[in-house]
Structure 1
C-alpha cells in the first residue's frame, strides 16, 4: 500500500471479512470470533496499519514444545530461551507447554507428537526417525510445526530455526587440524546419536575438511552416547585404553565434563585436543581452565527466541515472512570464553 493510507476496505479484502468486522476489531467493539479477529489483525499488520501492531489478540494460542529434559545443558538453555521469549512477546498471547522427550525412544516421541493435535502449533527438537517424521508430517497438515536446533528431513514442517551443522563440522575440523599441526594424529568423534540430523551433518562436515586439508589426521571411530553425559566419559576411557595413540576428540553432544574427568584419570588430558559444541556454564569453566581447546556455540537462547517469533509470524501475530533461518555460530577459546 505504498503511496496511500491503508483503509478498512483494504484490510477487509485481505482478511476475507466485511468492513464492519474490521471496524469492530480495530475499535475493540467485540462481537467477532477469535479466528476472524486473528485474520483481521494479521492482515492489518501485513498491510502496515500502525494502530494494529500493538493490539493484543484475545484468543490465546497454545503452543507445544518438545525438547529433552534440563539434564542436557543445551536443552536447559533452549528452555531458558523459550521462557525469555514468552515474556518478551507476551503481547502475542501465546502460551508454551513444554513436554520432555527421550531421544532414545523415537516411538514415544512420535506418540507425543500425535497427541499435540489439540495445540495451535508445535516447536520440536528431535532425532530424525521415520516414525517421528511421519507423525510430524500428519500433524503439520493441521497446525504449523517449527523444528528447532536440528531439523527433521521431509517432515512437512513450516520452518527450521538452527545452525548449518555441516558448516559447523567443517569449522570444528579446521580447528582440530590447526591445533594438531603438521604432526596430525588419530581422532575420535563422540556423538550423542546419529539419528539426530545435526550430529550426522557435523560428522560429515568434520570428515570432509579433514580429508581435504589435513592428511596427517585420521578419524578412527565414531562413538554414540545416547545423549547421556556419563556415557561420554565411559566410551572415551575405553577408547583411549584400547588406542593410546589417539590425540584428538571431536565431541558433538552432552558429557564434556565426564570426558575431561576420564582423560585426567588416564593422564591424557594435557596431550589431547578436545573440541566441542555449546558454551554452557560448565563448558565455559572448562574452556577457561584450558581443559577444552575450543567450543563452537550455536546461541540456543537466540534460536529459541527466533522459533517463538517464527511461530508468531505463522499465526499472523508478527509481521514478516515465517521462513527457515540458518543461525550463526560463534567460536570460543580460553581467552574469549
Structure 2
C-alpha cells in the first residue's frame, strides 16, 4: 500500500506552508487567491482526495458588469448568472450582476466594486479607460473575462464567438436567401464602439462584396440598442429604398422592426434576419416575420466563463475545451 499523502506533501508541491494547506482545505479563509489555486491543484495532483468536495472551499465572489436588462441579450445573460447561483454550482461561485447604463462609466464602476470580488466578467463597449481598468486588474492577478463582447486588452480572456466569422456566416445566409437577383440590404448594428459589433458588420459586408455582387448594402445603421431608433432606421430606409429586400439586425430592436414591417404589410415581402433566439424572437420566427436567427447561446457562454474562472482557481478537474461557443442558425422549421 502506498504512503498516505499528507498536508505537508501538498504544501511542498504547492510551495506553501502546511498551515496554508489546512486553511484552504478546511475553508478557513484568509489565503491569497493564487495560493488557494496552487493548493487545490496540488491536492488533486497528489490524489489527496479523489472526491475532493469543491463546495467545501470558500465561495468565490464574481462581479459581472453587463448592459441594462432592456437589452434582451443582456437580460438573458443576467438570468443565466442567477440560475448558476441557484443551481448545483459545483465550483462554489456566486456572481453579482452590475448593470452599467448608457450614462455610466464602466471603468469607474469596475474601479468602485472590483476590489471586493475574486474575478470580473465584463460585457461592455470598448474604450480606453475600460481597457486600462481591465489590464490593471489582470496584472494584479484577478481573472478577467470579457463575455460575448470582446474588449481588446492584455491578459484578458474572451468568451464568445468569433464575431468576424459570425458576420460572414450572416452575410452568406442573407446572400443565398436573396438568390441571384439580389437587392438592397440594410444592416443595423447596436454600438459600433463594441469591437464585436464592428467585426460582425465587417464580416457581413465582406461576404456580400466577395460573393453576392447583386446585393447592394445600404449605409450602416446604428441603433444604440434602442428599439424605436432601430425601427426609425428601417422606416427611413424603406422611404428612400422602397425596393428594400432584406434587413440584418445585429443587436436589439428586433420586435420594434417586426412591428413596423407588420404595420406596413411588408412582413412577407422584406426578409428579416437577426441574432439570439430569445422568446419574442422565437415567436417572430414561428410567425414567419423573421426568416432566420443566428444564436450564440448566451447561457452556454455564461457557463464557459464560470468554468474558466473555476479553472483559474484550480477548482475544475477538467480544462476548458474552448472559449468560443458555436453559432447555430434557426429557421421556423427548427423550432
Pairwise same-fold verdict (TM > 0.5) = yes
Structure 2: stretches of 5+ with no match in the other structure: none
Structure 1: stretches of 5+ with no match in the other structure: none
Displacement, 1:334?
Answer: 0.6
Measured in 2, the distance between the counterparts of 1:299 and 1:80 equals 13
Measured in 2, the distance between the counterparts of 1:318 and 1:176 equals 41
CA shift in 2, pair 1:285/1:128, >3 Å: same
Corresponding residue for residue 79 of structure 1: 78
Paired residues, number: 329
Moved more, 228-237 or 36-45: 36-45
Displacement, 1:177?
Answer: 1.0
Corresponding residue for residue 15 of structure 1: 14
Deviations 1:207-227 (A, max 9, x none): 111112111012111111111
Task: Report SS of the residue matched to 1:99.
Answer: strand
Displacement, 1:93?
Answer: 2.9
Moved more, 177-186 or 266-275: 266-275
Deviations 1:242-296 (A, max 9, x none): 2212211111001111111112233322211111000000000000111011000
Measured in 1, the distance between the counterparts of 2:59 and 2:29 equals 15
Corresponding residue for residue 328 of structure 1: 326
Measured in 1, the distance between the counterparts of 2:313 and 2:245 equals 50
Tell me, yes or no, if the aligned pair for 2:304 and 2:320 is still in contact at 8 Å: no
Corresponding residue for residue 109 of structure 1: 106
Corresponding residue for residue 295 of structure 2: 297
CA shift in 2, pair 1:25/1:220, >3 Å: closer
Corresponding residue for residue 257 of structure 2: 259
Alignment of 1:15-34 (within 5 A): 15-19=14-18, 22=21, 28=26, 33-34=30-31
Corresponding residue for residue 212 of structure 1: 210
Task: Report SS of the residue matched to 2:145.
Answer: strand
Tell me, yes or no, if the aligned pair for 2:175 and 2:182 is still in contact at 8 Å: yes
Deviations 1:184-229 (A, max 9, x none): 0111111101111221111111111111211101211111111112
Tell me, yes or no, if the aligned pair for 2:296 and 2:328 is still in contact at 8 Å: yes
Displacement, 1:153?
Answer: 0.7
Displacement, 1:124?
Answer: 0.8
Tell me, yes or no, if the aligned pair for 1:167 and 1:205 is still in contact at 8 Å: yes
TM-score, structure 1 normalization = 0.89
Moved more, 130-139 or 79-88: 79-88
Displacement, 1:23?
Answer: 6.3
Task: Report SS of the residue matched to 1:168.
Answer: helix
